[in-house]
Amino acid sequence: MFNVKQNDHNPILHPLKNHKWENVSACNGCPIARGQELFMVYRAISNPDIIMAPNLYQSIIGVAKASNNGKYDFTDRQPLIRPEAEWEKYGCEDPRIVEIDGRYLIFYTALSSANLGPDSIKVAVAVTRDLKTIEERHLVTPFNAKAMALWPEKINGKYYALVTVNTDAPPARIGLASFDKIEDLWDHDRWAKWYDELEQHELVLRRSEADLTEVGAPPVKTKDGWLVIYSHIQNYYTGAARVFGVEAALLDLKDPRQIIGRTRWPVIIPDQVYAKFGFVSDVSFPTGAVVKKNQLEIFYGAADTTTCVASLPLDGLLKELSESKRTKVFERWSGNPILTPIAKSSWENKNVFNPTALDLEGTVRILYRAQNDSRASVIGYAESLDGVNISYRHDQPVYGPRADFESKPAGSQNPYGCEDPRLVLIGQKIFMCYTAYNGFDSPRIAISHISKKDLAARRFIWSEPVIITPKSTDDKDGILLPKKFSRGYLVIHRVNHHITGDYVDDLLFTPSEVDTSFEILEPRRGMWDGKRVGLAGTPHLLKAGWLMFYHGIDEQDTYRVGAALLDKDDPTEILARSAAPLFEPLMPYEKEGEVPNVVFPCGSIIRGDKLYLYYGGADRVVGVATASLKEILVGLK
Residue 3 gets which letter from DSSP?
B
Q: Is the pTM of this model over 0.95?
A: no
Q: How open is the CA angle 86-90-93, to the nearest 5 degrees?
A: 110
Q: Is the pLDDT of residue 326 over 80?
A: no
C-beta neighbour count of 171 within 10 angstroms: 13
DSSP single-letter state for residue 405? G
| Confidence grade of residue 75 (pLDDT, cut at 50, 70, 90) | confident
Residue 584 neighbours by CB under 8 Å, 6+ apart: 528, 558, 560, 561, 599
Per the prediction, the chain carries an average pLDDT of 95
Burial class (CB in 10 A: 0-12, 13-18, 19+), 48: middle
Q: What HEC string does 301-337 produce?
A: EECCCEEEEEEEEHHHHHHHHCCCCCCCCCEECCCCC
225, amino acid identity: G
* Whether residue 408 has pLDDT greater than 90: no
The CA distance from 348 to 370, in Å, is 5
pLDDT range class, residue 20, cuts 50, 70, 90: very high
What's residue 49's pLDDT? 82
According to the 3-state scheme, what is the secondary structure of 58-101? EEEEEEEEEECCCCCCCCEEEEEECCCCHHHCCEEEEEEEEEEC
- Helical (H) or strand (E) element with 420: strand 416-426
Confidence at 422, pLDDT banded by 50, 70, 90: very high
DSSP assignment of 341-378: --TT-SSSSSEEEEEEEEEETTEEEEEEEEE-TT-EEE
Q: Is the peptide bond before 511 cis (omega within 30 degrees of 0)?
A: no
Percent of the chain with pLDDT over 90: 90
- CA angle, residues 392, 395, 398, in degrees to nearest 5: 95
- Please tell me the number of Cα atoms within 13 Å of 58 on its side-chain side: 20
For 188-213, what is each residue's pLDDT tens digit? 999 999 999 999 999 999 999 999 99
- Kindly tell me if the per-residue pLDDT of 91 is higher than 80: yes
Start-to-end CA distance of the chain, whole Å, equals 10
- The answer on pLDDT for 87 being more than 90 is yes
Query: Which domains can be identified in the chain, with CATH numbers?
Result: 9-321 (2.115.10.20), 331-635 (2.115.10.20)
558: helix, coil or strand? coil
Average pLDDT, integer, range 583-610? 97
Question: In the prediction, which pLDDT does 429 show?
Answer: 97
C-beta pairs of 40-44 under 8 Å, 24+ apart in sequence? 40/12, 40/13, 40/64, 40/65, 40/66, 40/74, 40/288, 40/299, 40/307, 41/80, 41/95, 41/97, 41/106, 41/131, 42/13, 42/95, 42/307, 43/92, 43/93, 43/94, 43/95, 43/301, 44/19, 44/79
Model confidence over 224-270: pLDDT tens digits?
A: 999 999 999 999 999 889 999 999 999 999 999 999 999 999 999 99
Say if CB 547 and CB 563 are below 8 A apart. yes
Contact assessment for residue 220 and residue 159, using Cβ atoms and an 8 Å cutoff: no
Reduced to 3 states (helix: H, G, I; strand: E, B; else coil), residue 185 is helix
Please say if the pLDDT value at position 392 is more than 80.
yes
- Whose CA is closest to 229, among 192, 268, 255? 268
Query: In the prediction, which pLDDT does 1 show?
Result: 86
pLDDT band at residue 55 under the 50/70/90 scheme:
confident
Find, among 144, 125, 234, the residue nearest to 186 by Cα: 125
Tens of pLDDT, residue by residue over 121-148, are 999 999 999 999 999 999 999 999 999 9
430-480: pLDDT as tens digits = 999 999 999 888 999 999 999 999 999 999 999 999 999 988 888 999 999
